[in-house]
Amino acid sequence: MYKCSNYLKIIERENDYALFNSLFGGLLIVNNNVIDLLKKFKKPCSLEDILEYKDKKKTDRVIKILKDRYFIVKDYVDEYKIVQKEKKRRLGCLNKGEFIDSIQLIVSNTCNFNCEYCFMKSIYSSKERFKLQKSKDNQLMSFEIASKSIDTLINLAKNNNIMYITVEFFGGEPLCNFPLMQQIFDTYKNGLSKGVCILYSMVTNGSLIDDKIAKTLAKNGVHVALSFDSPSIDKRTGQAEAFNKMIQSKVDLLNKYGATIIINSALTKQNIDAFDVNLLFDFLNKNNIKKLVVTHELDINYYEDKKNIDKLVNKTIEILDYARKYDINVNSTWADIFNQINRDAPINLIRGSKACAGCSSKLSIEPNGETFACKSTSAHFGNIKCIDSILASHNYKSSVSRGYDNCAKCRGCMLEGFCSGLCIGSIEKKYNTIFAIEEKACRIFKDITINFIKNIKVNTDYCYLTE
């Protein structure tokens, strides 16, 4: 006997419906006929009864798809048990570091700017983390720590049959320590001689890029994420025009050598009113930049006010509308929710974390080797010099666990299998635990995901008819 899954979600669109399983995704656009067919599974019934009911061949095919995507399930099956079983398995073999496929190397905690709003001045929840941020021995990473970190990642990847790994350069301003990056490129190149494929990325304010640096970044395939909110705003110098010129000159240099450019924009309490989406997309289009990352305000108090949530949702949806028009890929943790739903496999079971990579698939390593889930989080895992202690630590275990379950309040939510809520760093700061959510902000994730779903263009692969 089969029945509709308790996790089946149906979203009505203009001319059809979207189906997905709130734990496993598998997004499918269907017409009324499929909805009628699903209604027959409201109560458990046998497939034979259904297959006799209409054109057998076509209905058979549709039912197979509905079964494969967990939209109809055997009447004794609870998919949540699948997630729990997998979580238990993972917690039982934490020491393998099975799903770690990237490291964030904080190559420099110093920065050539001193922005008032810099998130590192306010994000951390513990005094120790703030102290570490300022500590003299934790400003510039040495090659010894960098190579120990990369070798560790390579070993973990090889032990777990992971071919592609990511090394992200982060700061402060990573280009304050460009000689280290050069040494890493010279030593590891693309990783193939070590048996893996290394993808490099960097988040930078861009100001230190010169001809030599642009050439090196391009040569080594570094995805260069420039922090730039919108041409209408300059938070750093207060002189938008001068800052725009500077960014434009760096983009020109990077484009000269064919580097991959990503623009990292933040929608924050300081800039959201002045954030000009039109100007931003003109800039992206003019410079042939095809990828935009948009993050949301990290100060959790901002989400107390409903008006702020409306502003964030509206501005984000405006960005998505422009992205569709200009065919630009927009990414972020909130976009990753939809990206996971729009797959036919239970991604949270594959990758080990939902939208926030800071839960289990990434290690963030400070210049002195101290290791955390992410630059934004405070729970300490240990020092990269001893990966075994990191993988055995209570905080690493909590992080892996959070990568699966979110917290009790997420049970039954339509986004349960994909959404991590607000940044774990912000959550940790307010609640002193990572197992909490900010319920007022949930509407942001739901409204944006529904916007994505409602705007998918139907192609024949998506649409299955029963007649």
Residue 363 near residue 100 (C-beta atoms within 8 A): yes
Cα 167 from Cα 170, distance rounded (Å): 10
Angle, CA of 277, 279 and 280, to the nearest 5°: 65
Q: Is residue 97 involved in binding ligand SF4 (CB under 6 A)?
A: no
- 413 belongs to the binding site for ligand SF4 (CB under 6 A): yes
Residues in 150-189 that interact with ligand SF4 by CB under 6 A: 171-173
Where b means 16+ CB within 10 Å and e means fewer, 103-138 reads bbbbbbbebeeeeeeebbeebbbeeebbebbeeeeb
Smallest distance, Å, CB 106 to ligand SF4?
11
Using CA atoms, how far apart are residues 95 and 92, in angstroms rounded to an integer? 8
Whether 97 contacts 156, CB under 8 Å: yes
Based on the shown chain and the rule CB under 6 A, indicate whether residue 453 belongs to the binding site for ligand SF4: no
Cβ atoms within 10 Å of 344's Cβ, excluding its own: 13
Say if CB 217 and CB 202 are below 8 A apart: yes
Strands 72-74 and 2-4, sheet pairing: antiparallel
Among 415, 436, 448, 453, contact with ligand SF4 (rule: CB under 6 A): 415
Identified binder of ligand SF4 from the candidate list 198, 218, 423, 453, rule CB under 6 A: 423
How many chain residues are in contact with ligand SF4, going by CB under 6 A?
A: 32
* Sign of the CA dihedral running 40, 43, 46, 49: negative
Computed on alpha carbons and rounded to an integer, the radius of gyration of the chain in Å comes to 23
Q: Is 113 in the site for ligand SF4 (CB under 6 A)?
A: yes
Residue 357 region, left (φ>0) first, then alpha (ψ -120 to 50), else beta? alpha
Nearer CB in complex with ligand SF4: 4/337: 337
Of these, 65, 115, 208, 349, which contacts ligand SF4 (CB under 6 A)?
A: 115
111 binds ligand SF4 (CB under 6 A): yes
Cβ(333)–Cβ(423) under 8 Å?
A: yes
- Selected range binding ligand SF4 among 92-100, 279-287, 405-413, 457-465, rule: CB under 6 A: 405-413
Q: Hey, is 103 helix, strand or coil?
A: strand
In whole angstroms, how close is the CB of 426 to ligand SF4 at the nearest point? 7
| Residue count (the chain) | 467
Residue 202 lies near ligand SF4 (rule: CB under 6 A): no
Residue with Cβ nearer ligand SF4 (398 or 466)? 398
Interface with ligand SF4, residue 294, by CB under 6 A: no
Among 150, 225, 266, 357, binds ligand SF4 (CB under 6 A): 357
**How far, in Å, CA of 97 to CA of 427, rounded?**
24
The window from 26-34, 80-88, 110-118, 388-396 that contacts ligand SF4 (CB under 6 A) reads 110-118
Looking at the Cβ atoms of 72 and 357, the one nearer to ligand SF4 is: 357
Q: State which residue, 263 or 437, has the beta carbon closest to ligand SF4.
A: 437
Of 345, 389, 397, 347, the closest CA to residue 369 belongs to 389
Cα–Cα distances in angstroms (integers) from residue 452 to residues 82, 180, 324, 342, in the given order: 27, 41, 10, 10
Q: Is 342 in the site for ligand SF4 (CB under 6 A)?
A: no
Site for ligand SF4 (CB under 6 A): which residue of 377, 395, 398, 399?
377
**Per CB under 6 A, does 428 bind ligand SF4?**
no
Nearer to ligand SF4, 72 or 365 (CB): 365
User: Would you tell me which residues interact with ligand SF4 (CB under 6 A)?
Assistant: 111, 113-115, 118, 171-173, 205, 227, 333, 356-358, 374, 376-377, 406, 409-410, 413, 415-416, 419, 421, 423-425, 437, 442, 445-446
